Copies of this chain bind each other. A is one copy, B any other.
Amino acid sequence: MSSQSPASAPNGRRRDAERTRAEILEVAQREFARKGYSGARVDEMAALMRTTKRMIYYYFGNKEKLYIAVLEKAYTEVRKAESAMDVQHLAPVEAIRTLAELTFDHHDAHRDFIKLVSIENIHHAEYLRKSQMLGDLGGPVTGLISRILEAGRAAGDFVADADAIDVHMMISALCFFRISNQHTFGTLFGRDMTAPEHRDRYRKMTGEAVVAYLTGGGRRGAEERGETG
């Protein structure tokens, strides 16, 4: 018999720190996303895991540190996804459009992350600010957008007076709101913005809105009236 696998645990070790830690993080992410920081209950999380509450405190110390760990994991995954967005080879207009559509898909697929971000904002990002691991989390995306904007202006495609952070904000706003506000919006207007039958249309709309703004459609009226500046 191999020494790595006791008879009592045929499908994995009964004692596995990695696995226990991972499960705690997973369950905690779901619970925090569903109930908010104060609303989530440590005891309830424990009940949803194979292990006990004792382990949450053993690995993470307290509720706040657990929440911060969840945040860090979520943001790390987003950064990974962003760095995988390969749009540099495209012409500026298509690069921005594709970036917007990829961001749309990513938001659509990571709804727990969006809820965590909403929750963080209710708390004025106090926990995010406490996290070390932040580093330059926003740098890569804005760097990418900066290069696209420069190329687009050089080619004469982009005329809007917007920097990389502005463009990132606009893309994020359109992608984020559709998920984050789906419930109140759906209740008030009778449309589930996140329903599959609307997804393609909204993805296209997101890309087109950003491109339209950058290529100057919004100033068309002013130009036609002979205004400048």
Contact = CB atoms under 8 A, between A and B. Distances in A.
A80 to B, nearest CB: 15
Q: How many residues of A sit at the interface, in one of the four size bands?
A: 35 or more
Contacts of A122: 35-36, 115, 118-119, 122
Given A36-B38, A119-B122, A187-B129, A221 B211 contact: yes
Nearest to A213: B209
A217 interface: yes
Contacts of A20: none
A215 B207 contact: no
B142 A189 contact: yes
A6 interface: no
A133 B219 CA distance: 41
A123 B36 CA distance: 8
Shortest 6 CB-CB contacts between residues of A and residues of B = A217-B217, A208-B218, A212-B217, A173-B177, A212-B218, A125-B183
